[in-house]
Structure 1
Amino acid sequence: MQVGRMRYRIEIQDYKSTQDADGFETREWMTVHTVWADIAPVSGKEYMASNRETAEITNKIYIRFRSGIKSTMRIKHGDRIFEIESVLGDKRSGMLTIMAREVA
């Protein structure tokens, strides 16, 4: 992977709980990392669900190696949301490959 291909600014988000002023716990997506990435579509499919045509696209997202990225997190790029399916890290090459499904 060429570092020059990392032209997308993405946010890696985790689902965190916080307390509001009244002491109630709320859970929301919070950005934990903002990094440069390359997003490459790998496969896609269309199917019918609940009488609605649905598209599902699987992507490979490449970033510089960073520990602590888990499949419970998600990635946001502008209006696009990606659910992380797996994280493949190679510390020696300094790259992290994330397999993610785009949520429509």
Structure 2
Amino acid sequence: MRSGRLNAQVTFEQKVGTKDEYGHPTEDWAPIPGMVDIWANVKPITGRERWANQHMTNTATLAVTIRYRDDIKPEMRIRFGDMRLEITGPPINVDNRNRELVITCEEDST
């Protein structure tokens, strides 16, 4: 993979259990150590609008390409700037060569 294609930095996050100010358990997202500021290429694939719950919802589907890693899981999410990208499926190991992964994600904006 040519490094010039990886022109953006992303951070992988996972859910962590915390407690709110009243001591009640809650879940929040936190960066995964060792998976902060990973070089990537982020490309939009599709965008759509739909009417849901009496308001318009915009959904963008993006492809995030990174160097190969074997520790990416669908339950993670990706932070790209102000965007929070939900991983929608297993990462694709391009040509099964262990060089690059393509991760399909969705970003919702209401």
- Of residues 36-45 and 82-91 in structure 1, the stretch that sits farther from structure 2 once superposed is 82-91
Q: Mark the CA change 1:31 to 1:52 in structure 2 (over 3 Å): closer, same or farther.
A: same
Percentage of pairs with the same residue: 31
Residue 28 of structure 2 corresponds to: 28
TM (norm. structure 2) is 0.80
TM (norm. structure 1) is 0.84
Alpha-carbon distance, 1:84 to partner: 0.1
Aligned residues: 103
Residue 89 of structure 1 corresponds to: 93
Alpha-carbon distance, 1:50 to partner: 1.6
Matched, 1:98 2:103: yes
Q: After superposition, what is the alpha-carbon deviation per residue over 1:61-84, rounded to whole angstroms, capped at 9, x for unaligned?
A: 000111111111100011101000
Coordinate RMSD, CA, aligned: 2.2
Select the structure that is richer in strand.
Answer: 1
**Any unmatched runs of 5+ in structure 1?**
none
SS at match of 1:4: helix
Residue 73 of structure 2 corresponds to: 70
Residue 39 of structure 1 corresponds to: 42
Q: Mark the CA change 1:25 to 1:43 in structure 2 (over 3 Å): closer, same or farther.
A: same
**Any unmatched runs of 5+ in structure 2?**
none
Q: Aligned partners of 1:2 and 1:47: how far apart in 2?
A: 37
- Of residues 2-11 and 59-68 in structure 1, the stretch that sits farther from structure 2 once superposed is 2-11
